[in-house]
């Protein structure tokens, strides 16, 4: 069995197979496993170049951490991380967390608040209609919520555009709330009661965590468990199936293959099944947003804002340079030396894709301008690390369903071929972990079945 791609998806799948006594060889193009998860430790600072936190919405996460013996290294965000700021008129305003707080909040106008009261009376859209997130939000709760709640939130998750994203594909729970309860507000209330009964956790209440040495702790631990099975610096370009055996470039023959790759790498693969070329070019239409992570350290006294929260998101209408900033050293201890703070800002996204082509100095200047205006940051950074992801996050735009159908159909029609990862099963870390885990179970079932037939 072979796995192509050594990001969190491929690693999770290989580990899950190992737990079931199935040995998989994992091929990774670069000289390290982990994919976009990359932690840099220098001079007492700990910078994340890719993801910063895991949202524990699935019990599989806890099981994986226990199986890897990482419980003592896990650190959950502290209580103040529940505070989220949204920038309005260039000032960070706390996102209200209760109905009373909402009524008193300066984040939304009285008109927008009154408009919300009409939400339960707005008719649900037909179940088969695929609506963009922007259209959905304007229809149900009005333009101001789109601008000051949904737009910055979407920048934080997808670095994407609400006008393009599909409500059903990118935010299936939101779509389901409308379909099931006919109202987002009623759905929130009734859904909370149902969750209480069933013991499940909503995204807002799910624990958020990292590790004392950063998120790379997880992929390093997986790499150590799989040591003998990992082949780094081995990009696979050609995958050929013949007589139920899979051969990869010059890298041997396998009983099955899992493709745990970004869409833009899948389309480059030369795939041949029973002497017929199989084109994956359909997936070339999956758009990726570009993102630059700009991590800056400052003396505490050079930052006016208390940094008492998760971070601050910048709505597009505010016309700032960056998408938002995570208060990294407030979330987790050990991210900056004593007396210093660490802030992680993101630039680019579909809002301003051209910005990621700027030099690191220019990117730092753009972020400094925003930090100065929004958080009252003065003085020179004491630390900086810039990392550019030219193709960071796949966009689950209107019509995205066809890509999932395409991969599902290939899996069904080509025996021994499997797909997993962020361009199929969701863009978050937890989605990737669940995707790798579930793919491993499908593979184990397939291998079991093939053994029985022989
Ligand atoms: C800047 C940024 C911030 C993010 N923040 C968060 C966050 O805070 N929380 C969260 O939940 N999610 C976050 N995400 C999303 C999350 O990190 C990703 O969805 C997830 O890590 C994807 O993992 P993956 O294994 O599917 O893909 P990848 O990490 O892209 O791994 C794919 C691997 O395949 C390898 N590869 C490519 N081509 C070949 C080939 N031909 N042969 C062999 N190997 C190949 C690559 O080198 C890579 O290692 C963020 C993403 C980015 C980019």
Q: Is the CB of residue 183 less than 8 Å from the CB of residue 351?
A: no
State the number of CA atoms in the 13 A half-sphere of 126 facing the CB: 3
C-alpha 293 to ligand 1 mean position (Å): 14
DSSP string, 177-208: HHHHHS-HHHHHHHHHHHHHHHT---TTTS-E
C-alpha 253 to ligand 1 mean position (Å): 26
pLDDT in tens, 183-230: 998 988 887 787 777 666 666 778 999 999 999 999 999 999 999 999
pLDDT in tens, 97-112: 888 999 999 999 999 9
Tokens found for residue 317: 């209408």
Query: What pLDDT does 200 receive?
Result: 61
CA 383 to chain centre: 26
**For range 150-157, the mean pLDDT:** 95
Average pLDDT, the chain: 95
Extended strands (E) in 255-301? 257-259, 270-273, 276-278, 288-299
Q: Produce one character per residue of 166-187: b if its CB has 16 or more CB atoms within 10 Å, e if not.
A: bbbbbbeebbebbeebebbbeb
Q: What percent of the chain has pLDDT over 70?
A: 99
pLDDT in tens, 335-360: 999 999 999 999 999 999 999 999 99
Query: What pLDDT does 371 receive?
Result: 98
Query: What pLDDT does 243 receive?
Result: 84
- pLDDT of residue 251 exceeding 90, the answer is no
Whether 2-37+216-285+397-453 and 39-58+71-95+207-214+288-394 share one fold: the answer is: no
Ligand 1 pocket member 219 (CB < 6 A): no
Q: What is the pTM of this model?
A: 0.95
Q: What percent of the chain has pLDDT over 90?
A: 89
- Indicate which residue's Cα is closest to atom 12 of ligand 1: 428
Ligand 1 pocket member 393 (CB < 6 A): yes
- pLDDT of residue 284 exceeding 80, the answer is yes
Pocket test for ligand 1, best of 6, 7, 158 (most atoms within 8 A of CB): 7
Rounded to whole angstroms, the Cα distance separating 191 from 270 reads 46
Q: Which CATH architecture has domain 39-58+71-95+207-214+288-394?
A: Alpha-Beta Complex (3.90)
* Ligand 1 atom closest to Cα of residue 5: 34
- Quickly state the pLDDT bin for 450 (edges 50, 70, 90): confident
C-alpha 150 to ligand 1 mean position (Å): 24
CATH of 2-37+216-285+397-453, one of 3.20.10.10, 1.10.3720.10, 3.50.50.60, 3.40.50.300: 3.50.50.60
Q: Is the CB of residue 391 less than 8 Å from the CB of residue 290?
A: yes
C-alpha 10 to ligand 1 mean position (Å): 10
Domain borders along the chain are 2-37+216-285+397-453, 39-58+71-95+207-214+288-394, 108-121+129-198
The fold for domain 108-121+129-198 equals protoporphyrinogen ix oxidase, domain 3 (1.10.3110)
* Ligand 1 atom closest to Cα of residue 265: 38
pLDDT in tens, 24-76: 999 999 999 999 999 999 999 999 999 999 999 999 999 999 999 999 999 99
- Indicate which residue's Cα is closest to atom 1 of ligand 1: 50
Query: What pLDDT does 451 receive?
Result: 81
pLDDT in tens, 31-43: 999 999 999 999 9
* Ligand 1 atom closest to Cα of residue 32: 49
- pLDDT of residue 252 exceeding 80, the answer is yes
Query: What pLDDT does 244 receive?
Result: 84
């Amino acid at each position: 069995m072979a796995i192509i791609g050594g990001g969190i998806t491929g690693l999770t799948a290989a580990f899950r197979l190992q737990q079931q006594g199935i040995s998989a060889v994992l091929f990774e193009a670069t000289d390290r496993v982990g994919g976009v998860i990359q932690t840099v430790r220098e001079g007492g600072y700990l910078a994340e170049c890719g993801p910063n936190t895991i949202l524990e919405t699935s019990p599989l996460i806890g099981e994986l951490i226990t199986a890897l013996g990482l419980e003592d290294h896990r650190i959950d965000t502290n209580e103040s991380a529940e505070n989220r700021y949204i920038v309005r008129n260039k000032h960070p305003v706390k996102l209200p967390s209760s109905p009373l707080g909402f009524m008193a909040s300066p984040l939304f106008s009285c008109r927008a608040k009154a408009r919300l009261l009409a939400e339960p009376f707005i008719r649900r859209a037909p179940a088969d209609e695929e609506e963009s997130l922007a259209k959905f939000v304007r229809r149900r709760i009005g333009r101001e919520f789109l601008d000051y709640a949904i737009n910055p939130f979407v920048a934080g998750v997808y670095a994407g555009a609400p006008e393009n994203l599909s409500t059903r594909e990118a935010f299936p729970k939101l779509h389901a709330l409308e379909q099931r309860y006919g109202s987002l507000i009623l759905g929130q209330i009734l859904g909370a009661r149902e969750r209480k009964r069933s013991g499940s956790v909503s995204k807002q209440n799910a624990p958020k965590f990292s590790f004392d040495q950063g998120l790379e702790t997880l992929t390093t631990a997986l790499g150590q468990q799989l040591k003998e099975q990992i082949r780094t610096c081995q990009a696979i370009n050609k995958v050929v199936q013949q007589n139920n055996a899979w051969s990869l470039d010059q890298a041997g023959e396998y009983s099955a293959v899992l493709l745990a790759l970004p869409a833009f790498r899948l389309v480059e693969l030369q795939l041949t099944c029973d002497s017929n070329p199989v084109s994956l070019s359909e997936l070339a239409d999956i758009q990726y947003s570009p993102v630059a992570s700009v991590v800056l350290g400052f003396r505490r006294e050079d930052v006016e804002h208390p940094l008492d929260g998760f971070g601050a998101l910048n709505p597009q209408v505010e016309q700032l340079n960056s998408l938002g900033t995570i208060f990294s050293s407030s979330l987790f201890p050990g991210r900056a030396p004593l007396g210093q703070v660490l802030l992680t800002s993101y630039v680019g996204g579909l809002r301003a894709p051209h910005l990621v082509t700027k030099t690191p100095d220019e990117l730092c200047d753009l972020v400094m301008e925003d930090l100065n205006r929004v958080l009252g940051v003065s003085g020179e950074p004491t630390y900086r690390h810039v990392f550019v992801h030219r193709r960071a996050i796949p966009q689950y735009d209107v019509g995205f369903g066809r890509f999932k159908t395409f991969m599902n159909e290939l899996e069904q029609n080509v025996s021994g071929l499997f797909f997993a990862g962020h361009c199929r099963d969701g863009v978050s870390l937890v989605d990737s972990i669940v995707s790798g885990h579930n793919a491993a179970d499908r593979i184990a079932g397939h291998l079991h079945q093939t053994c029985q037939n022989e």
